[in-house]
Amino acid sequence: MLKRERQAFILHQVNIHNKVLSSGLSEEMKVSEDTIRRDLQELSDEGKIIKVHGGALSCSFSHVGYPSEKIYSHTHKKIIATKALSLIQDGMFILTTGGTTIVELARILPMQLRATFVSCSIPAILEYSNHPNIDVIVVG
């Protein structure tokens, strides 16, 4: 399968399912996961998908978020997030749920932090993906 065909297939799958897994694409197209990773990276660089650890998400998720003025007890959630941040260290694997407090935590993570976050929350995943040294594992 040619690169252009692979990438068209990937985009089609992302448009249908809103997410794809590298391992599933590799099996379906009978190519290595390294080939899929390169294709995903290229598509991400072109702004066609959001690359995450283990796969990719639809760009339609890039506008998902919570407007601060509509969050119940927003100030308190920021305080909780700041306290939680003090527990996080480089090299940790952190499993998070969803919710606005977790999104606040993701927003205040230091850019130099090197950690792996596991989550099923699209808004949290998108915030984690803004940090260059954080790996993100998406749970379906």
pLDDT beneath 70, residues of the chain: 60-71
Q: Percent of the chain having pLDDT more than 70?
A: 91
Q: For the chain, list the domains and their CATH numbers.
A: 3-63 (1.10.10.10), 68-138 (3.40.50.1360)
pLDDT one-digit tens code per residue, 91-102:
999 999 878 889
Closest CA to 39 of 51, 28, 57: 51
Model pLDDT, residue 123: 87
The pTM is what?
0.55
What values do phi and psi take at 49, rounded to 5?
-145, 170
Compute the distance between CA of residue 37 and CA of residue 78 in angstroms, rounded to an integer: 35
Alpha carbon distance 38, 14 (integer Å)? 16
